[in-house]
Structures are given as structure tokens and as C-alpha cells.
Amino acid sequence: MTAQTTTVYAYAAPAPKAPLERVTIARRALGTHDVLIDIKYAGICHSDIHIARAEWGEGGFFPVVPGHEITGVIAEVGPGVTRYAAGDRVGVGCFVDSCRECENCRAGLQQYCTGETGMVGTYSATGRDGQPTQGGYSQSIVVDEDYVLRIPDALPLDAAAPLLCAGVTTYSPLAYWQAGPGKKVAVVGLGGLGHLAVKIAHAMGAEVTVLSQSLRKKNDGLHLGADHYHATSDLSTFTALAGSFDLILNTVSAGLDLGAHLGLLKIGGTMVQLGVPEHPQSLSAFPLVAQRRSLSGSLIGGIPETQQMLDFCAAHDIAADIELIRADQINEAYERVLASDVRYRFVIDTATI
Ligand code: NAP
Ligand code: ZN
Ligand code: ZN
């Protein structure tokens, strides 16, 4: 058993908005219930960029190694580990610990942990060794087995990585608001989250519409499983589709005219905010009260639901459409994500770190 901390290579943002660079970081010694994972792939989520650029406020930890869409293979297990063995194909998502005792943790909703420290983020949080947690843009990671997911054999490890955040973030609200046959679902923004939302909502049997800034990606959207595709830059979209949808998932990383989008819901419909833009957004009450509409939000998914989502994706042949990159292309990939030029998730081959 690895009784010492191990030193591994990683890519870190040294300071807010600074380009990421190669560094070494320490991983904690393997605890009784820990597994050591050889990371093979790490997806680039827009949240990585928000955090590396300190767009969610001061107080983050720098240098920060982002990455919470991790897949790899177990290299070693602690003596108390019961569910995993060396060689298993596994994943790690957005958190690596939680209190385990609060009502939400006991219900398997660890992402909403109300314990003293809340859920412990895979990076930019304080780990149980008292050190800042560091994420998946690295060669290996040590994680308690209770926060590790099993990757079904049917899913390739590279295209499965984005499921650990983007997949479950879209699966969870689609399941909660019962997307399925007879339901009209709109997905706003065809990026990392959006393209998986389209695939998953389609597989659940819903009628799916993409609302993108332009028609540039229309063929892709239809190919991914959307039934309809409209541009939000064309203002007639908002009159043509008024009162159409049961459910709207807003995956946009920037501010949006929320009122205009709420107007697209049927009576009693719900728009779920998934994107977490840098700045607060304003909203008139009229589109909400007018048709008893709801505006809600949703954060990733708990451990049981993440496993359920992985099994659902394996059964429906769903994984991300990825562009595999070398670690020295991370900064360029960040710029392309910021320019909405991602088709549809960048995934780092961590062997290149
Ligand atoms: P992404 O790949 O960059 O996709 C966002 C998409 O939003 C873009 O591809 C673009 O789609 C659209 N968009 C971007 N800027 C826009 C603008 N100014 N106006 C209108 N549309 C715009 O990002 P992602 O990784 O999917 O993440 C999306 C957001 O969700 C981020 O804020 C991220 O932090 C957040 N997030 C939240 C959770 C959660 O648990 N709630 C989990 C993961 C990520 P089109 O080109 O099609 O318009
Ligand atoms: Zn994410
Ligand atoms: Zn808890």
C-alpha cells in the first residue's frame, strides 16, 4: 500500500486568468478506504474555466488543477476497500467527499450536502488531508471508494469522461422533471452540457428542440437527436415558439434574457438553470406569474444517480462527442470553449501530461 504521498505531474492555473502550465503536485497517502486511480482522460468543463479565471468570486485556491470529468483505471486499493480492485475502469466526478450524515447525504444527494464543509469539490476545496484538492488534469488521484463510479464496459473511457459532470448534470433534471414520451423539452446552448442533454432527452423519449445562438450547428443538433432546431438570434423564434415547452434546460454559461425564454414554456412549465454565469441576472416577474411557470436550478447529481446515468448511457449507446487533445493544447481549448467553438467536449489524454 502507498504509505507515502506521491508526486505526480499535472496542469495548473497558477493565478486567476493565467495560462495553465505543467506542475508537480502531491497526492495523499492511500487511506484504508481509498483507491489510487491512474487517470487516463479528463474532460474540460466550462466550470473549470469559470474557476481558473476566478469568475465565481475571490477565495478560490491557486494554483488550481481543474478537472472533474475523470476516467481511469484503479492502480491500488487500501486495505478496507470492498467494491473495487486493481484494474477496474472507474470515474470521478465533481466531488470526492461529503459529510455522509446529513439528510441529503443519506438520501444519496451528496451534491447538496448540508454538513459543515458541504460536498468537497474534486478541486478548489479542502481535502481530508487539510490540503487543497486538485483535479483531473493530472496523472493520478486518490479518492475514497464511496465517491468513485464504475464505468460500464460498453463505454469507451475517453468519451465517457464528460458524462461524470456534463452527463449527470443534464440527466438529473431530465429525470426529475420526467422528460419522456409526450413531453416537449428545449435545450438552450449546444455545448458540452447541451449536446448530452439532447442525446439523453431523446433517449428518454421526449420531443427535443435545440435553441442555439445561430443555425451554425443545426445539422449536428439534428444528428445528435434533436427534432427541431432554432436560432435565438432570430427574434421571431420567441413568438413562433411561445408557450411550447414543458421543460427548458438552460445550459448557457453567460447571462441570458431569462424572461424571453420563460415565455416559451407552457402553463406550469419549468425552466431549469444549469449554467452558472459570472454575473447575476435580472428577471421580470411577469413571465413567471402569467402562466404559473417555474424557474428552478439543479446541481450535478449524487453518487447513486451518477451510476444510474452511466448505466443508462451504456444501455442507450450514449457518450460524449469529443475532441481528444494533448495537455499542451489546454489553453487553446479554453479559448475555443469561450468562443462557443467546441464540438462538443474537449478531453485531455493525460498520457501527454
Ligand atoms: P460550453 O460547452 O461552453 O457550452 C455553453 C454553450 O452556451 C455554448 O456552446 C453556446 O451554445 C452557449 N453560449 C455561450 N455563450 C453564450 C452567450 N453569450 N449567449 C447565448 N448562448 C451562449 O459550457 P458547458 O461546459 O456546457 O457548461 C455550461 C454552463 O453550465 C457553465 O456555466 C458551467 O459552469 C455550468 N455547469 C453547471 C453545472 C451544474 O451542476 N449546474 C454543471 C456543469 C457545468 P450555442 O453556440 O449553441 O449558442
Ligand atoms: Zn463540470
Ligand atoms: Zn452531508
- Over 90: is that where the pLDDT of 59 sits? no
Selected from 3.40.50.140, 3.40.50.720, 3.40.50.300, 1.10.645.10, the CATH number assigned to the domain covering 166-297 reads: 3.40.50.720
Best residue among 49, 124, 229, 251 to mutate for probing ligand 1's pocket (most ligand atoms within 8 Å of CB) is 251
Residue ID of nearest Cα to ligand 1 atom 12:
189
In the structure, ligand 3 is a single-atom ion and the residues with CB under 5 Å from it are: 98-99, 102, 105, 113, 115
User: Phi-psi bin for 184: left (phi > 0), alpha (psi -120 to 50), beta?
Assistant: beta
The answer to whether residue 353 scores a pLDDT higher than 90 is: yes
Alpha-carbon gap, residue 319 to 156, rounded angstroms: 8
Task: Give the residue-averaged pLDDT of 157-166.
Answer: 98
Q: Rounded CA gap, 170 and 187, in Å?
A: 10
Q: What angle do CA 321, 12, 326 make, to 5 degrees?
A: 40
Residue 29 banded pLDDT, cuts 50, 70, 90 = very high
Residue 251 in contact with ligand 1 by CB distance below 6 A: yes
pLDDT over 80 (residue 249): yes
Element (H, E) at 175: helix 166-176
CB atoms within 10 A of CB 156: 15
**Banded pLDDT at 1 (limits 50, 70, 90):** low
DSSP string, 298-343: --S--HHHHHHHHHHHHHTT----EEEE-GGGHHHHHHHHHTT--S
252 Cβ inside 6 Å of ligand 1: yes
In angstroms, the CA 57 to CA 55 distance is: 6
Residue 197 has pLDDT above 70, yes or no: yes
**pLDDT tens figures, 321-336:** 999 999 999 999 999 9
The predicted structure's pLDDT at residue 2: 62
| Cβ(165) – ligand 1 distance below 6 Å | yes
pLDDT score, position 27: 97
The pLDDT tens digits of the residues spanning 119-143 come to 999 999 999 999 999 999 999 999 9
Give residue limits of the domains in the chain: 6-164+320-352, 166-297
One fold for 6-164+320-352 and 166-297: no
16 contact partners, CB below 8 Å, separation of at least 6: 52, 53, 54, 60, 62
Give me ligand 3 centre to Cα 128, in Å.
15
CB-ligand 1 contact for 213 (6 Å cutoff)? yes
| Atom nearest to 297 CA in ligand 1 | 41
Which residue out of 193, 305, 342 has the highest number of ligand 1 atoms within 8 Å of its CB and is therefore the one to mutate?
A: 193
170-187 average pLDDT score: 98
Q: Which atom of ligand 1 is nearest to the CA of 50?
A: 34
pLDDT at 57: 85
| pLDDT the model gives residue 58 | 72
| 169 Cβ closer than 6 Å to some ligand 1 atom | yes
Query: What pLDDT sits at residue 30?
Result: 96
User: What is the model's pLDDT at position 150?
Assistant: 98
Q: What 3-state DSSP class applies to 136?
A: coil
Q: Is 287 in the pocket of ligand 1 (CB under 6 A)?
A: no
Q: What is the pLDDT of residues 227-245, one digit of tens each?
A: 999 999 999 999 999 999 9
**CATH code, 6-164+320-352:** 3.90.180.10
